[in-house]
Amino acid sequence: MIDGLIEGLSNIVDPVLLGLMFLGVLIGIFVGFLPAVSGLLGTALMLPAIVGMKPLMALPFLLALHAVSYTGGSMTAILVNIPGTGPNAATLIDGFPMTQKGQAGRAMGAAIASSSLGGMLSVVFALIFIPIVIPLVRLLYSAEMFFIIIMGLSFLAVLAGSSPIKGLMAGGLGLLFSFVGFQSTTGIPRFTFGSVFLLDQLNIIAVVIGLFALPELIDLATRRKTIALCESAGIGGWTDVWEGVKDVFRHFGVFLRGTVVGYIIGVIPGVGAETAPFVAYGQAKQASKHPEKFGTGIVEGVIAPESANNAKEAGALLTTLAFGVPGSAVMAILLGAFFLVGIVPGPEMLTDNLGLSFTMLLGIAVANVMAGIVCLAFAPFATRITKVHPDYLFPVILVLGLTGAFAAGAQILNLAVVVWFGVMGFFMNRFHYSKPAFLLGFVLGMLFEHYFWHALNLQGPFFFMRPVSLLIILAIVLIFVIKPLKAHFRRASRKRPITEA
């Protein structure tokens, strides 16, 4: 444990790695700041750049990019009432009213400081809990990992929000597409329709760019408006921004609770991205002495969701490292990045590759420090970037995306995959099917099959009878039955007073 931490500390101070991470931070802030883009898309677009890189350089670079995208997204939410990323939607509830009241600088200072400090504090939580996770990981074999993957898939319905059936359908479709190509243990081709190109499975880079990038770019181009859809006043000077930073320490209880909520929710696969900020916001409102002021433009309403936004990433990363189960849609993309650089996520990441795991966790903390400094420095000038016209933005992102898809394996047919999944993503948006659920199914499908066949070959058909496996199966059952049981008892409690009356 200590040796791994020392190795991580020595790795993270490498000047080359720090330079790569700083580049990732700049890209992450930029893509998070633009509502047409996101950390999800930015991470996907950068996947081709890591091909051929060492894991020690590639993975912290992508983590730095993603971990700070929410910090950039908070600026757009505050300035123009448009969340730069989905989870920043909770920030605009009080952030934009603060702008309307002439307190945009203060709101931005509070958002930047709380998100950066929350990201750093969550890494401390992750480092504290690693000694607890490592003994647990050593109890896990192929059978247990198979059921953990099943548990991850059980959150498909959660990713769909108000449409759990659509979430399950989207996840099932993702599973189906993950089975295209050679079967890993028997070598039998499936769903290739005679195409040699499909024998090697669908390329995750092409799938992600098509599914997420193309629909958003089409929407940006058809609006024919600048990204800043509304005019807003100036954000104030350095004094106002610094006042927001001090607000985080004035309301430290709100900040700390938001960070804890974000970290805990981030650990749960498939739940954290949009859920954590709203739960933190609701918890802050519930605990406040003046809950009626929330939504009218108070700084606590900015601190709570933003502290949860970045805090959830360390929790999601720990889940991804330990169990190979992505804690969010972006972690699903990062899971694909692990395979691209020759790393298989799972229990070995907290035993044999502990130094790399510590490097990535510490990288999140360092990236948040960098992002805080950069964003605070440029906060007074941030409004100008949101007014870039789509005529300039659209072709740049489109060319970058198509080039990245082609570069992934140097296959021209990857462009056809981009178009196919772009059309699919468009219709999924139109009919409200969850694309993150699809991606979760697509990525976990590969691990699902891998662990199933290993468990079957090593432990026989009764691999599910192992004690730890039975505990995980019980947890999966509880995930499915707790919510209906709560609803049943709630209805029963409502009927009882009527009957007594």
Per-residue model confidence as pLDDT tens digits over 158-173? 555 557 788 788 888 9
Q: What is the pLDDT of residue 117?
A: 92
Q: How far apart are CA 295 and CA 307, in angstroms?
A: 17
How far from each other are the two terminal CA atoms of the chain, in whole angstroms? 63
Write down the pLDDT at residue 137: 57
> How high is the pLDDT of residue 283?
78
pLDDT tens-digit map of 382-412: 645 445 666 776 777 677 677 767 765 667 8
Tokens 């996770």 -> residue? 133
Average per-residue pLDDT in the chain? 78
% pLDDT > 70, the chain = 81
Pick the closest to residue 235 from 94, 380, 138 (CA basis). 380
Of 327, 106, 133, nearest to 238 by C-alpha is: 106
* Token pair belonging to 469: 């496996």
How far is it, in rounded angstroms, from Cα 247 to Cα 95?
Answer: 14
Which of the pair, 12 or 144, is modelled with greater confidence? 12
Angle of CA points 312, 178, 57, to nearest 5°: 50
Taking 80 as the threshold, does the pLDDT of residue 108 lie above it? yes
In a domain, 435, yes or no: yes
Examine residue 158 and state whether it is found in any structural domain, yes or no. Answer: yes
**What pLDDT band is residue 487 in, cutting at 50, 70 and 90?**
low
For every residue of 283-348, which 3-state class applies, written as one string?
HHHHHCCCHHHCCCCCCHHHHHHHHHHHHHHHHHHHHHHHHCCCCCHHHHHHHHHHHHCCCCCCHH
pLDDT at position 7 is: 83
Q: Residue 397 corresponds to which tokens in the numbers above? A: 């992102």
Nearest alpha-carbon partner for 330 in 82, 28, 76, 9: 28
Report pLDDT digits (tens) over 288-299. 888 778 878 888
Task: Report the range out of 348-352, 456-460, 492-496 with the highest average pLDDT.
Answer: 456-460
Cβ(420)–Cβ(405) below 8 Å: no
* Domain encompassing residue 172: 2-465
* 195-245: pLDDT as tens digits: 887 877 887 778 877 887 788 777 767 766 654 444 444 445 678 888 888
Structure tokens that stand for 271 in this block: 């739940």
In a domain, 483, yes or no: no
Provide the number of structural domains found in the chain: 1
Q: Is residue 125 part of a domain?
A: yes
Residue 50 lies in a domain: yes
pLDDT recorded at residue 256: 92
Asked whether residue 446 carries a pLDDT value surpassing 70, the answer given is: yes
Q: How does DSSP classify residue 213?
A: I
pLDDT band at residue 249 using 50, 70 and 90 as cut-offs = very high
Question: What value does the mean pLDDT take over residues 12-16?
Answer: 89
306 or 166, higher pLDDT: 306
Closest CA to 138 of 400, 376, 347: 347
What per-residue confidence (pLDDT) applies to 237?
67
Contacts of 463 (CB under 8 A, 6+ apart): 142, 143, 146, 455, 456, 469
| CB of 314 closer than 8 Å to CB of 121 | no
Q: Which residue type occupies 463?
A: F
CA proximity to 115, closest of 382, 377, 367, 386:
367
* Domain assignment present for 478: no
User: Could you tell me the CA-to-CA distances from 261 to 28, 126, 254, 424, 467 in Å, in that order?
Assistant: 23, 13, 11, 34, 31
Residue 427 maps to a domain: yes
Weakest mean pLDDT among 17-26, 113-122, 174-183, 456-465 = 456-465
Q: Report whether pLDDT(114) > 90.
A: yes
State yes or no: pLDDT of 1 exceeds 60: yes
For residue 140, the model assigns a pLDDT of 67
Choose among 294, 273, 258: nearest CA to 117.
258
**What span, in angstroms and rounded, lies between the C-alpha atoms of 177 and 446?**
10
CB atoms within 10 A of CB 458: 11
Task: Tell me the mean pLDDT in the region 423-439.
Answer: 83
Mean pLDDT over 345-369 rounds to 83
Take residue 71 and report the two structure tokens written for it.
Answer: 């910090």
Q: Are 415 and 147 in contact (CB under 8 A)?
A: no
**Predicted pLDDT of residue 228:** 40
Q: Tell how strand 181-182 and strand 189-190 pair up.
A: antiparallel
Q: Say how many C-beta atoms besides its own lie within 10 A of residue 294's C-beta.
A: 19
What pLDDT does 232 receive? Answer: 46
- Helix (H/G/I), strand (E/B), else coil: 190: strand
Question: In percent, how much of the chain has pLDDT > 90?
Answer: 6
Tokens found for residue 427: 């219709």
Instruction: Give the pair of three-digit tokens for residue 481.
Output: 């039955």
